[in-house]
Structure 1
Amino acid sequence: MDRFAGQARLEWWANHATCLEKYDIDITVTVDAVGTWRATGRHANALDTTQREGWDFLMEMDPHFSIVFPGEDNGGILVRVFEAEDGTLTLTEAPDWDGSGSITFDLP
């Protein structure tokens, strides 16, 4: 596969057993000659207020998601997601991320 355009799903996992949220996205993935892939996309459906709050919270907590392509049951590729102001998502493979991080929140 050197190019895929279609739908996929981003899943945010709290641990190996708990998926907190899933987001359908329209995505285009390209793979270069050395196997490096790049992906861009958008949410397949506009997020309502509650979904947007959840998305923003998860992105602030940790922007790493598993991506699931059609025909797969579970996410196989760990990606880091960046969202531009216009809503465009850029995904980069994060194979070395170990799932640990230090997050601090100021709660009202």
Structure 2
Amino acid sequence: MDQFVGEGRLEWWANQSICLEVYDIDITVAVDAVGQWRATGRHANALDAIQRESWDFLMEMDPHFSLAFPGEDRGGIMVRVVEAGDGTFTLTEAPDWDGSVNVTFDLT
């Protein structure tokens, strides 16, 4: 099993031109013999209150992020992020995600 342990970043794109937020992460990616990969991570730096609010908002709206590694200008792997209660998260590849999400805001 091959493994990568290092840094990466999660980018949340509103569309092809607008990246709303970028989060630096520490990540461990393991790839098995048939090419399936699993990844776990955590924020590289603790989020302050405003960053936490932004993270929670984006996760609630749509937990799909683009994953980028050092040296990449823009993330190329679309992942779904699931956060655990202890601040860690798992990343699963989302190659079929089409970029669409339905969002309803209650403005009352």
C-alpha distance in 1 between matches for 2:107 and 2:4: 41
- 1:50-89 equivalences in 2 (<5 Å): 50-89=50-89
C-alpha distance in 2 between matches for 1:107 and 1:43: 31
C-alpha distance in 2 between matches for 1:59 and 1:36: 24
- 1:13-92 equivalences in 2 (<5 Å): 13-92=13-92
The runs of 5 or more residues in structure 1 that have no matched partner are none
C-alpha distance in 1 between matches for 2:74 and 2:105: 30
Give the percent of matched residue pairs that are identical in Structure 1 and Structure 2. 78
Query: Counterpart of 1:79 in 2: which secondary structure?
Result: strand
The runs of 5 or more residues in structure 2 that have no matched partner are none
In the TM superposition, residue 105 of structure 1 has moved relative to its aligned partner by 3.0
Q: Does 1:103 align with 2:103?
A: yes
Residues 34-65 of structure 1, C-alpha deviations (whole Å, 9 max, x = no match)? 11110001000000000000000000000000
Structure 1 length as normaliser, TM-score? 0.95
Q: How big is the alpha-carbon RMSD for the aligned residues of Structure 1 and Structure 2? A: 1.2
C-alpha distance in 2 between matches for 1:48 and 1:107: 26
Show structure 1 runs of 4+ deviating over 3 A: none
In the TM superposition, residue 102 of structure 1 has moved relative to its aligned partner by 1.5
C-alpha distance in 2 between matches for 1:90 and 1:73: 23
